[in-house]
Amino acid sequence: MVIFNAYVFFTLLTVLLVSIILVRNYRPSLSGMSGMIISMYLGMNIGLTTGILLGAVYRGDMFSSTLLSMLIGAVCGSILGALFNTLSSIEGLMSGIMGGMMGAMLGEMLLPEKALIMINIFLTITLSALFLFRILLSDSSSIKSKRDLIKPAISFVLLSIYLLSGSFLGSQWIADLQHLQEPQQHMNHK
């Protein structure tokens, strides 16, 4: 269970750090509205992903999972927004809080198998944020060479392999969660 949790948090932290680097490198080319989009997108997705994970892990303790996921989403959204301006920071903060709250509720309600599917979906969406920078910086939408097709294809294959390896880690995570929940269910029936 710890390995899958570490995999998810490592992925989210990596996306956050790469996003910070990209924002710092391309800041002059990004508008204030782009800053709001980036901070809201990542704050919300990191909060949702963390909330679903923690809601499934801390099943029965919704306060802890909600508080932790709201904190993580809010911090990530605020950090990214602060690289642009105060308004973007506030937008990121509130989106992270909302995402963490919704994710924790969803993780609490779902069976571990379904929570794993949702975590994988939101990890995919969060990783796709790295492509958002390319879209926001682009001034044309035409393909000029084969290189414009090959780079996204290679990125897609590498990200797919990474996400599939996480799915294999998730099968052990499900078994561990079910094993932890069995004693609680027996105690509730007595």
Mean pLDDT across 30-34: 82
Contact 116, 173 (CB under 8 A): yes
53: nearest Cα among 34, 42, 66: 66
Give residue 141's domain range.
2-189
CA-to-CA distance for 35 and 11, rounded, in angstroms?
21
Mean pLDDT across 47-51: 96
Q: Which amino acid is at 175?
A: A
Average pLDDT for the chain: 87
Mean pLDDT across 28-55: 91
Q: Positive or negative CA dihedral for 56, 99, 131, 152?
A: positive
Is pLDDT of 187 > 60? no
CA-to-CA distance for 118 and 141, rounded, in angstroms?
31
**Residue 188 confidence (pLDDT):** 57
Name the domain count of the chain.
1
**pTM as predicted:** 0.84
pLDDT tens digits along 104-131:
999 999 999 999 999 999 999 998 888 8
DSSP 37: H
E strand or H helix that includes residue 100: helix 86-109
